[in-house]
Every structure is written in C-alpha cells, then in structure tokens.
A = this chain, B = another copy of it.
Amino acid sequence: MPPEPFFSGSGLDRADLLRSRPERIAELAARGDARQLAWADGLPALDADGRLSWEPVREPALFLGLDGDSPRFASLPASAAPAPAFALLAQLDEQDAPLFACALSLANWHLRHGHCSVCGQPTGIVRGGWSRRCGGCGAEHFPRCDPVVIMLAEHDGRLLLGRQPHYPPGRFSALAGFVEPGETIEAAVARELREEAGIQVADISYVASQPWPFPSSLMIGCRARALGDALTIDFTELDDARWFSRDEVAAALTGEEGAAFLPPNRYAIARTLLDDWLAA
C-alpha cells in the first residue's frame, strides 16, 4: 500500500460541473442545509475537536462542494493569516485536512488576485470562486497550485536530511524545492539535490503527494539513490545537511531521548517519507 500523508483524501464532492451554473449555485446557497466555513484570523476556524467550524451562509463567495447532500461555501476572510498555521495543524482532525487545505489556498489566492496581471484592472469572482475574470480586458485567471519536489536521498543505507534556517532547534527534514517551467519531476529532484547538497542521484522514484496550503503547494514526495556521499552544502538555502543512519532515523521517529535529530511533524509529507523508508 502506498503511504497516506496528512491532507490526503478526497475531501468534499467538488461538483465542479455546477461551477459554471451561477443560478444553481445561488439555489444551493439559499438552502437550509447549506453551510459556510468560519474564519478566525485568516485561517479556517476549528472547534474543540479539531473539526472545521461551519456557520449559516451569509457571503457564499466560494463554492467548496457538497458534503453528502449539504452545500458547503466559504466567504473570503478579511485578510490573510499573519503566519503559517503550524500550531493549528497539530489540532486539525485528519478527516478535515483536505478541505482545510483547499479553502485556505483558494481564499489566499483570491486575496492576492484582485487585479488582472495582464492589464492591471480589477478582477471579479466567477465560476463559483474557482476563477477570476478581468473587468477590463476579459482575461480569466485560475487558482495557482505550485508543484514542489521533496525527497529523501539514500546512500549506503543512510539518508540525507537538511535544516532550513527557520526550523526549530534540532529539526532535520527532507530537502525540497519548486518544480520550474520546463522540468519533469525527476529533473527537479536531481537539480535540487545537486544545488543544495552537491550530490548526483539516480533511480528517482515517486512515493506520495500532499497539498500544502502555505500558500498553495502540491508536495511531490520522492526517493533517489545518491551516487556518492560527499556534500557541498548551499548555505544560502540550508543551515546544515547530514547523512543519518537507519538507527538514528528510527530513534528520531520514536522520539527517543538523545535522538540525533527532531523529525518533521506528522502533518508534513517529509514525515510520511521517513515512516515509509523505515518500514520498507
């Protein structure tokens, strides 16, 4: 069985054929069982059980889809959250994670796209919140979803992990970087490992993927075999990078005292990649 990262799953039925039918969306929004996502400081609000909070529909700007038969909407929050919500993720129920990611990415995209990138004129919401159209030149703009490769490089039974400057003390995790125009997933994995750690790799394989709504990434988790273990670290991107043995990774994941590093959190696909590697 392939591993299942946090944020996996289908979330709602997106019912996207309805997006092009504004009269149907208005009917759905008027129904008694329709609900609107509650925002708190620019983030989806959670109840005491870590589930998303819903309220009566007042401003159905974004049509999220159908929960069984019940229509689900979101307004646009007044402003974006001041910082990524990692503390909130620790409380979030896994079942609501895909919808949390969807609503947050979509809302933040709208907040940053009130103008047309082609001509600068104001844009307005169309397609039930799944696009914006320019009132000036008519250009249509769709939400972004930015592919990012995140990968474990292995050499002789050891894994390469790195530290980004913003990590808490002791944390090491998988290296990562945006896929650029003109690249395959595999080319991006090889480039990032070469640039950030100075290693050449082969046998790149896909493991799992995860949406990551800070602001709108699609994390694509991979593994690769390093052809050597000599590192040339790019210190403009990383604080440090090191090879860790299987025993060191196991101790870190079980939270042993004195473990060689602090592992990524359960909601990060890097953790899924480590769990999967250790189980193999």
Residues of A within 8 A of B (CB): 2, 5, 7-11, 14, 16-17, 98-103, 105-106, 109, 112-122, 130, 139, 141-147, 178-187, 190-191, 195, 205-206, 208-211, 213, 216, 218, 220, 234, 236
Given A122-B120, A187-B9, A187-B98, A181:B114 Cβ within 8 A? no
Q: Which residue of B lies closest to A5 (CB)?
A: B184
A211 contact set on B, CB distance < 8 A: 181-184
Q: How distant is A195 from chain B, measured CB to nearest CB, in Å?
A: 7
Complex Cα spacing A182 to B98, Å: 5
Q: Which residues of B contact A99 (CB under 8 A)?
A: 182
Q: Are B182 and A213 in contact (CB under 8 A)?
A: yes
Interchain CA distance A234-B205 in the complex, whole Å: 33
Which of A130, A145, A190, A191 lies at the interface centre, i.e. has the most chain B CB atoms within 10 A of its CB?
A145
Residues B120 and A180 in contact, CB atoms below 8 Å apart: no
Cβ contact within 8 Å between A185 and B218: yes
Instruction: Name 8 A/B residue pairs within 8 A (Cβ), A-sorted.
Output: A16-B195, A105-B181, A115-B118, A115-B119, A116-B117, A116-B120, A145-B146, A185-B209
Q: Is the CB of B118 within 8 A of A112?
A: yes
A-B pairs with the 10 shortest C-beta distances? A102-B182, A105-B181, A115-B120, A120-B120, A206-B206, A101-B182, A185-B209, A113-B117, A184-B209, A147-B147
Which chain B positions have C-beta within 8 A of A181? 101-102, 105-106, 109, 143-145, 211, 213, 216
